[in-house]
Amino acid sequence: MPDRPSDADLLADLTETAAVAESGEAPRSWERKSSGAGRCRSRGKSNNPYLSNWAKHYEFILKVPPLHQIRTSEERSLQRLLDASLRPTDRVLEIGPGTGRQTVKLAARVAHVTAVEQSEEMVEQLLRRLEHEGVGNCEVITGDFTKIRFAERFDVVALIGVVDYFADPAAFMAQVGAITEREIVFTAPHCGCLAKSFRLCNRLRGIAVSNQSIEQVRGYLPQFDVEVEETGLRSPLWKGMTLACRAVRR
Ligand SMILES: C[S@@+](CC[C@H](N)C(=O)[O-])C[C@H]1O[C@@H](n2cnc3c(N)ncnc32)[C@H](O)[C@@H]1O
């Protein structure tokens, strides 16, 4: 069985990461256990109640049509982009891993994954999944990515389904670009009718979701060449729900 952190460890993590968030210093790196799943640092309560409340239903919701079809088509595009992007020696940062749908696949293909997730409920499920799959090269940080200062840049940064929830995607993507050594693989909600319905549904629940055009997405990362694929139920009649993107530093 993988090692679990003790209560004393978790308390130390909580104190340490809170200090990191306040001081802006980089987190110290953890020793990786050879057989252990991701270790968890906690930084207090999640500030994303929507996703927290829905965390336990998240996997189920994604199986409901047409979300299942949208996700399946996004997944095909993402795997193409990740195939072109990942190298076995890479150190990867995943922002907003949720329940870890991509995390396990990423960890199998690279040297190390750091996963930053702000919802504690998502982290619980992520850690369970990492343990179940016996992943030993992943560190999990509970906290808001935008408040964490990292000491080093990562070879690749992955963020799937995360840009959607930022009121200022340009500022967020600039922060992501600054800690990326080579490439960013990400999705963004498109501006077609499917994405607009998604936005409307969320607005009815009081959640702000942004829609992005291909030009906007490219403009966020001026130091990168950005390859963009329309995906998520794209048809000759309408634009897909999602833009799957791979940005490579020039
Ligand atoms: C729609 S889910 C996507 C989860 C996963 N990437 C997937 O593809 O299934 C978005 C996730 O991003 C997390 N998230 C949003 N903003 C974040 C932030 N500032 N820092 C860390 N995680 C964040 C949310 O808590 C949520 O789990």
For residue 29, being part of any structural domain is answered with: no
Range of the domain at 219: 48-249
Per-residue confidence (pLDDT) for residue 53, from 0 to 100: 65
Query: Nearest to residue 39, comparing CAs of 149, 93, 113?
Result: 113
Pocket, ligand 1, Cβ cutoff 6 A:
48, 51, 95-98, 101-102, 116-119, 122, 144-146, 160-162, 165
Per-residue pLDDT at 12 = 41
pLDDT digits (tens, 9 = 90+) for 39-56: 544 444 444 555 666 777
Within a domain: 43: no
Kindly state whether residue 233 falls inside one of the protein's structural domains.
yes
Structural domains in the chain (count): 1
Task: Supply the DSSP string of 84-140, one letter for each residue.
Answer: HH--TT-EEEEE--TTTTTHHHHHHHSSEEEEEE--HHHHHHHHHHHHHHT--SEEE
8 Å CB contact between 244 and 231: yes
What does the buried/exposed string (b/e) look like for 227-240 if buried means 16 or more CB atoms within 10 Å of the residue's CB?
bbbbbbbbeeeebb
Atom of ligand 1 nearest to the CA of 52: 25
Residue matched to tokens 């930084």: 43
Tell me whether residue 2 is in a domain.
no
Cα–ligand 1 centroid distance for 237 (angstroms): 30
Using CA atoms, how far apart are residues 175 and 196, in angstroms rounded to an integer?
26
In a domain? residue 69: yes
Q: Considering the domain boundaries, does residue 98 fall inside one?
A: yes
User: Is 36 within a domain?
Assistant: no
Residue 151 lies in a domain: yes
What CATH number is given to the structural domain containing 222?
Answer: 3.40.50.150
Cα angle 24, 28, 34 (rounded to 5 degrees) comes to: 145
Low pLDDT (below 50) residues in the chain = 1-38, 40-47
- 154-159 and 180-189 beta bridge pairing: parallel
Place of tokens 């994604």: 62
Which helix (DSSP H) or strand (DSSP E) does residue 249 occupy? strand 242-249
Task: Using the structure block, give the residue that is written with the tokens 């927290």.
Answer: 52
Could you give the CA distance from residue 94 to residue 47 in angstroms, rounded to a whole number? 18
Return the ligand 1 atom nearest residue 55 CA: 27
Alpha carbons 118 and 52: distance in angstroms, whole number: 9
Output the CA 122–ligand 1 centroid distance in Å.
Answer: 9
